[in-house]
Amino acid sequence: MATQGQVITCKAAVAWEPNKPLVIEDVQVAPPQAGEVRIKILYTALCHTDAYTWSGKDPEGLFPCILGHEAAGVVESVGEGVTEVQPGDHVIPCYQAECKECKFCKSGKTNLCGKVRSATGVGVMMSDRQSRFSVNGKPIYHFMGTSTFSQYTVVHDVSVAKIDPSAPLDKVCLLGCGVPTGLGAVWNTAKVEAGSSVAVFGLGTVGLAVAEGAKAAGASRIIGVDIDSKKFDRAKDFGVTEFVNPKDHDKPIQQVLVDMTDGGVDYSFECIGNVSVMRAALECCHKGWGTSVIVGVAASGQEISTRPFQLVTGRVWKGTAFGGFKSRSQVPWLVEKYMKKVLNSTNSFSPAFLLFAFLPISHGFLLPKGSQEIKVDEYITHSLTLGEINKAFDLMHEGGCLRCVLEVHP
Ligand SMILES: NC(=O)c1ccc[n+]([C@@H]2O[C@H](COP(=O)([O-])OP(=O)(O)OC[C@H]3O[C@@H](n4cnc5c(N)ncnc54)[C@H](O)[C@@H]3O)[C@@H](O)[C@H]2O)c1
Ligand SMILES: N[C@@H](CCC(=O)N[C@@H](CSCO)C(=O)NCC(=O)O)C(=O)O
Ligand SMILES: [Zn+2]
Ligand SMILES: [Zn+2]
């Protein structure tokens, strides 16, 4: 490869300061060092967590930085000792690493990994605590260990999922964050059972993926809660069966839901990042067993509260990161599930069917009946180029936008 071992100069969107428009710069990207992978990013989507860090409210936000964490691309080169991927492999960068060796990875209790988190939280690479990005000699911080708003990025090898090369990268880039987070919150974190009642607070991409996951799990009622009633029509396609707009009620929203469900829902999911709504989501759960999962990311300084009596009387409060999915092991499997949907939409019966039917077992866990396929295209409402990234951030704040995918090398 001509670029292997060389510094690559390419375009990237740099966040120089919180809340100031991103600037497309010529960025120098250093070669990967031992245990690192340089990726040519082909498509990246925007997630609300990018906007959150850009806003300056993320205690881990460092500037200048290159944001972005929901993307797909091709390996350009690898550093010494990297064995699991090679140049040309199609990959999804994973902000939640999976080293398979640390105490988190080996616990069998969590998808969090401790191997590189101390570096990714401060915008550098683990080996030398330096950045691989610079603009005219000035270092630019990494973000979430991914920094995908760049034509090339460098990530740790434990943060790369190798995927089926036939998967369309302009679609499966979404499997880097929002969609798996919602599905996994239901399947891995809450473990919703068939017949359950579910409340979803916030009907953006993450909330809709929760609804999709709950439908696949066989939930009997999926109640969508949003302050924007325009969200309701689209949400039906993702499995939401009933809608509540808190603005239409004088009572607290938790009381509205308790009244609707004979004492409360079995499961609730907060997919907004609002601590008052997190409280409501807990308190709308049924006494004795209701479980509430926090998915939304709240700003620095925000804290959750409730009467301890809510927990004493059997409600459970949980949270989820990346939906509890183990990134390197399970992102390729999510891609396969999406590809099954693509195949099925072109062939009424495919021999691949049997293979896919057994994949959940071969991957060590069982999926709810009916969840063999997952939506991805349906979450993509806009497509732009990297150069239009500021417009893409503006779109995020409009009700009609779920995910906007940027073509990084137009
Ligand atoms: N835990 C994780 O691993 C993880 C992963 C991805 C995203 N997130 C977080 O999940 C959250 C949702 O992400 P998204 O991309 O779906 O966001 P989004 O902005 O598209 O969706 C949020 C929805 O909440 C609605 N809303 C806002 N205030 C409300 C209120 N008071 N009551 C009811 N509805 C309200 C909005 O109208 C919108 O439809 C964000 O906080 C994001 O940072 C967390
Ligand atoms: N720096 C932030 C962390 C926010 C946060 O919780 N991030 C989620 C992923 S959001 C993706 O859109 C996460 O995975 N958390 C676990 C981790 O970061 O290790 C803050 O401090 O608020
Ligand atoms: Zn995200
Ligand atoms: Zn680990």
The total of other beta-carbon atoms located within 10 Å of residue 373's CB is 16
Which pLDDT score, from 0 to 100, does residue 358 have? 41
CA distance 254 to 278: 10
Structure tokens at 29: 């990207």
Stretches in the chain below the pLDDT threshold 50: 348-366, 369-370
Ligand 2: distance of its center to the CA of 122 in Å? 13
Long-range contacts from 53-56, C-beta under 8 angstroms, 24+ separation: 53/143, 54/15, 54/18, 54/19, 54/22, 54/393, 55/18, 55/19, 55/299, 56/18, 56/19
CA nearest ligand 1 atom 20, residue:
204
For residue range 43-75, list pLDDT tens digits in order: 999 999 999 999 999 999 999 999 999 999 999
Question: Can you give the pLDDT at residue 347?
Answer: 59
Report how far ligand 1's centroid is from the alpha carbon of 203 (Å): 7
The yes/no answer to whether this complex scores an ipTM above 0.90 is yes
For the chain, domains (ranges, CATH) are: 8-162+376-407 (3.90.180.10), 182-321 (3.40.50.720)
Q: What are the beta bridge partners of residue 72? A: 43
Rg (CA), the chain: 21
Active site residue 403: yes
For residue 88, the model assigns a pLDDT of 98
pTM of the model: 0.95
On whether the CB atoms of residues 206 and 297 are closer than 8 A, the answer is no
Chain-wide mean pLDDT for the chain?
94
Q: Say what the pLDDT of residue 342 is.
A: 82
User: What is residue 187's predicted lDDT score, i.e. its pLDDT?
Assistant: 98
- pLDDT for 367: 52
Q: Are strands 316-319 and 291-294 parallel, antiparallel or unpaired?
A: parallel
Q: How far apart are CA 357 and CA 355, in angstroms?
A: 5
Counting Cβ atoms within 10 Å, is residue 305 exposed (0-12), middle (13-18) or buried (19+)?
exposed
Closest atom of ligand 1 to 51 CA is 43
CB 26 within 8 A of CB 17: no
H or E, element range at 294: strand 291-294
Alpha helices in 173-322 (DSSP H): 178-184, 205-216, 231-236, 253-260, 275-283, 309-312
Mutation choice for ligand 2 from 49, 70, 320, CB with most ligand atoms inside 8 A: 49
CB of 111 closer than 8 Å to CB of 329: no
Peptide bond into 64 cis (omega under 30): yes
C-alpha of residue 161 to centroid of ligand 4, in Å: 14
CB atoms within 10 A of CB 362: 9
